Amino acid sequence: MEKPYVIGIDVGGQSTKFGIVDARGTIMQSGCIEKTGQYEEVNDYVSVLAKALQEITGKVGGKEQIRGIGIGAPNGNYFTGHIDFAANLPWKGRIPLAQLITDQIGIPVTLTNDANAAAVGEMTYGAARGMKDFIVITLGTGVGSGIVIGGNLVYGHDGFAGELGHTIVRPNGRSCGCGRRGCLEAYTSASGVARTARKRLITHTDYSLLRELDPETITSKDVYEAAMKGDRLSVDIFERTGRMLGEAFADFIAFSSPEAIILFGGLTKAGELIMNPIRRSMEENVLKVFKGKTKLLFSELKESDAAILGASALGWETKSKD
């Protein structure tokens, strides 16, 4: 009999979430390790994780029922199964996480970065079902991307492709966490939105609800909440952020002409506040031959389950290794 389940693991700086998923995307069992960062030794982390996985696996009939494990992790490399120099995790250098987990659990593991996992999730269970060419853009603390072309995730020759958050949208522009200037991420991530707000409050004098907050602690959520109350400056910040995303998307379309661009992550809670300017700007800026062709969609994965589902979808890929 075909093994009916996969395991998805989402390794985040805050916590590690995992679940057992069936072919229709139902999460049968799930669990969580709080504070990934508390395990300074990766082997301790893997032991705790293995124990937790064995426990939930027991509830669905044991590991014979599991086809594969998929992991989404920051800086995860699909080709090597390593996590390479992830800034938000305590383990330094190259960590062979896929191998460490396989060794402990005896189930094949496929690992990639979190945005790629999100793209596979959308293709398997979400907004991209049936699509062969699409791009998932994750708008969270950073801006990530998972690119699918001809039904396959784009890994590039080294496994690191799809860093669209680090395309330069403003030459010599805002400094970015990557050490360069003008990256899309520096403007359109959740922290980019907060940065835009702080800058606007300093350089302009117009009234805003945001002036009631300590500028140093303003978050994209504050900007969103003010915008929902009709605060003009806050609405304008989403407008600018959306316009910049739309310009960048026009370039991405010139590259791979996707059927859809799918937005995922915290900032998408702003809904039409950000989607409208993106859509307008993308259509304004795109080359004529592409006009009106690329759909702009929100992720269809339920936020709380999305990370596990995305990672788990990779587990089905282990077929060829069976």
- Smallest gap from Cβ 95 to its own copies, in A, equals 15
The DSSP secondary structure of 84-141, one letter per residue, reads: ES-TTSS--SEE-HHHHHHHHH-S-EEEE-HHHHHHHHHHHHSTTTT-SSEEEEEESS
Nearer to its own copies, 53 or 147 (CB): 147
The percent of the chain in helix, strand and coil, each rounded to the nearest 5, is 45, 20, 35
- Of 159 and 266, nearer to its own copies (C-beta) is 159
Which residue, 52 or 178, is less far from its own copies as judged by CB? Answer: 178
Q: How far is the CB of 146 from its own copies (least distance, A)?
A: 12
Entry field: residues in the chain: 322
H/E segment holding residue 17:
strand 15-22
Q: Which is nearer to its own copies, 23 or 287 (CB)?
A: 287
Report the nearest approach of its own copies to the CB of residue 177 (Å): 11
Amino acid at 268: T
- Could you tell me the end-to-end alpha-carbon distance of the chain, in angstroms, rounded to an integer? 13
Q: Please, what is the minimum distance in Å from the beta carbon of residue 259 to its own copies? A: 4
Q: Give me the residues that bind its own copies (CB under 8 A), please.
A: 84, 131-133, 147, 149-150, 152, 154-164, 166-171, 178-180, 247, 250-252, 254-259, 285, 287-290, 293
Q: How far is the CB of 188 from its own copies (least distance, A)?
A: 14
Distance CA 176, CA 186 (A): 5
Residue 164 per-residue DSSP state: G
Q: Which is nearer to its own copies, 6 or 169 (CB)?
A: 169
